[in-house]
Amino acid sequence: MYLITDGDDKTLKNVLWTENCTNEQFENPNYLFSVYDDPILALMMNAAYEGFKNPHIWKVEGEKTLSFGFRYECKKLKAIKRIEITEPTSIQRIAFSILCSIHLMKNQFYKIWAKNYLNGNNRTKETADCVMQQLQNIEMNKAKDQQEEYVSCGIASIMAVLVDSWQFSANAAHRAYYDSPEKDRIDLIKLANIAFTISPEEISRVI
């Protein structure tokens, strides 16, 4: 398992992590230690959950107390070692959000935008804003027109581009995961690692 900390190797409540140390949370269940099964996914989702600046990744051991599907909480953890790993770039985070949302999105305007953004043909905020308005209109008119088209994670993905916020790219992944069928959840670890290791141009050719 992997724990994410701030740049000073601390989690909430200034809990410090060093090699072979063990920390346990007794008092407040709201401050359990959050872990992931994959270090890349931890970095991709940090902005939506932990929000640590200059994050560090620690390999840890412990028993999972609560499960949220791709993220877990533990009362007690032992730190094994800190892992040196490069943070995902902005385009890698956007690619991750697109990969997650494209599994659920059928909207052709969004798919065309996603391809053009990833292959570098059009990364302007003006185009992103235009597609955003189309998706928002669909979202707003669902109840009136009884439309079934799903657009929520696509809106979050485009917002990451419009406001240069990694939180929205993580939110897109969060929404896509929980809005996918319970018996067929999208594989966030796989998608995070694809976005981290494969160029956006290559990804654009297969979505």
pLDDT at site 28: 72
> Measured in whole angstroms, how far is the alpha carbon of residue 190 from the centre of its chain?
12
**pLDDT the model gives residue 27:** 72
pLDDT of 119 reads: 97
- Residue 145 is predicted with a pLDDT of 52
Residue 109 contacts residue 132 (beta carbons within 8 Å):
no
What is the DSSP track for the chain?
-EEEE-TTSEEGGGEE--TT-EEE--S-GGGPEEEES-HHHHHHHTTTTT--SS-EEEEEEE---EE-SSEEEESEEEEEEEE--PPPPHHHHHHHHHHHHHTT---HHHHHHHHHHHHTS---HHHHHHHHHHHHHHHHHHHHHT-----HHHHHHHHHHHTT-HHHHHHHHHHHHHHS-GGG---HHHHHHHHHHS-HHHHHTT-
User: Which parts of the chain sit beneath pLDDT 70?
Assistant: 142-148
Half-sphere exposure of 51 (CA within 13 A, CB side): 7
Q: What is the pLDDT of residue 164?
A: 85
pLDDT tens readout for residues 22-32:
999 877 777 79
Which pLDDT score is estimated for 120?
Answer: 96
